Amino acid sequence: MNKTSKTYRSNGKLLLTAEYAVLDGAKALAIPTKYGQSLEVNANGSNSIHWKSYNELGEIWYEEQLVIKSTLSGLHVTAKSDNQITERLIEILKAIRELNSEFLDSNQGYTITTHQDFNRLWGLGTSSTLINNLADWANVDAFQLLEKTFGGSGYDIACAQHNYPITFQLQQHQTPLIELVDFQPSFKQQLYFVYLNQKQNSRDGISAYKKLGKVNLDVIKQINSITKSMIVCQSLSEFQNLVDTHENIISKLIQQSPIKTRIFADFNGAVKSLGAWGGDFVLVASEDNPTDYFNAKGYETVIPYEAMVL
């Protein structure tokens, strides 16, 4: 391991199309966000990792001392406290060791500091940005590390690594197909992201989806067509129609009512769930600025498209 100070940074993510179905090979449109997370690594003279995580307000929200011991049988990590975050962090470090046998093999200690510039409840990729940063530091494949830890399609890792909108498509027994796309809608000033005031657990959403069975080929073709159409869409009204069609397809797929039907039925515009339905952000396509409408309903975080997207 390189013992000099190094800093890594990864972009956050938003999945605009093919939520859930991306797991079965549908082509998704995904965008990296201006928001992201950095990881700073400094060697220290101990055999431990002193970990500090700062939130967007510059406050420490997680701190831990991890004692590391490298043996022939693998990496042993112990911590002073016992909580889910620490358990997950130890799991990640051990997974890295499985991918890189030289990782932490010298018992060299490190002071590691993370900074995220977004509210970690927003669902913009607290986990994926961490995984990608750690993979960069440890010189392992971030997609493989994700598979060993959090799971998921990996589109969030692709967003962490790219500074442009992408399409992402899983391929059987191959690396994912990732393509840069020129997604610059002329009506982007009429697109907004609204936070629904609750964090959605992606793993729970994925698990529930898988229990319903695999999506059929016809649905995948429909979603692929919508993804393609959204990228080249020239008008707000056309985009709104694509959003509504996509919402109806996913609604039937996961047996849930669209978010607009459930909460925003009186809204004059299109509303699209992103990622795992039921939380995080929705995409809003509206002729007029919808901030007052959503604020009045108790949703105070309304971010214009251009302020969110990298």
Taking only the tens place, the pLDDT of each residue in 257-273 is 999 999 999 999 999 99
Q: Clarify whether residues 75 and 124 are in a common domain.
A: yes
Q: Clarify whether residues 137 and 195 are in a common domain.
A: no
Q: Clarify whether residues 92 and 188 are in a common domain.
A: no
Three-class secondary structure of residue 160 per DSSP = helix
Span 97-112, average pLDDT: 93
Residue 206 has pLDDT above 80, yes or no: no
Q: Clarify whether residues 172 and 206 are in a common domain.
A: no
Least confident of 54-58, 71-75, 173-177: 71-75
**No. of helices (H) and no. of strands (E), the chain:** 10, 12
Would 167 be classed as within a structural domain? Answer: yes
| Residue 56 CA: distances (Å) to CA of 16, 37, 82, 116, 120 | 24, 10, 25, 6, 8
Q: What is the pLDDT of residue 201?
A: 61
Question: Cα(205)–Cα(302) distance, rounded to whole angstroms?
Answer: 24
Three-class secondary structure of residue 169 per DSSP = strand
Burial track 215-238 (b if 16+ CB lie within 10 A, e otherwise): beeebbebbbebbebbbebeebee
Q: Clarify whether residues 138 and 220 are in a common domain.
A: no
Q: What is the pLDDT of residue 2?
A: 46
| pLDDT greater at residue 225 or residue 256 | 225
Span 173-201, average pLDDT: 91
Question: Cα(289)–Cα(301) distance, rounded to whole angstroms?
Answer: 13
Beta pairing partners, 271: 284
Pairing status of strand 302-304 against strand 191-195 = antiparallel
Span 274-281, average pLDDT: 79
Tell me the residue range of the domain where 231 lies.
184-308
Q: How many domains does the chain have?
A: 2
Q: Clarify whether residues 122 and 195 are in a common domain.
A: no
Cβ neighbours of 140 (radius 10 Å): 20
Cβ neighbours of 44 (radius 10 Å): 14
Q: Clarify whether residues 142 and 250 are in a common domain.
A: no
Would 163 be classed as within a structural domain? Answer: yes
Residue 211 has pLDDT above 90, yes or no: no
Would 280 be classed as within a structural domain? Answer: yes
Would 218 be classed as within a structural domain? Answer: yes
Residue 307 has pLDDT above 90, yes or no: yes
Q: Clarify whether residues 168 and 229 are in a common domain.
A: no
Boundary residue ending a domain (138, 153, 178): 178
Query: Which CATH number goes with the domain that contains 238?
Result: 3.30.70.890
Would 1 be classed as within a structural domain? Answer: no
The share of the chain scoring above pLDDT 70, in percent, equals 93
Q: Clarify whether residues 14 and 99 are in a common domain.
A: yes
Band of residue 278 on the pLDDT scale cut at 50, 70, 90 = low
Cβ neighbours of 75 (radius 10 Å): 20
Q: Clarify whether residues 124 and 28 are in a common domain.
A: yes
Would 150 be classed as within a structural domain? Answer: yes
Band of residue 1 on the pLDDT scale cut at 50, 70, 90 = very low
Would 270 be classed as within a structural domain? Answer: yes
Q: Clarify whether residues 164 and 86 are in a common domain.
A: yes
Boundary residue ending a domain (156, 178, 200): 178
Q: What is the pLDDT of residue 207?
A: 65
Residue 215 has pLDDT above 80, yes or no: no
Q: Clarify whether residues 33 and 157 are in a common domain.
A: yes
Would 276 be classed as within a structural domain? Answer: yes
Q: Which amino acid is at 174?
A: Q
Boundary residue ending a domain (178, 196, 230): 178
Query: Which CATH number goes with the domain that contains 32?
Result: 3.30.230.10
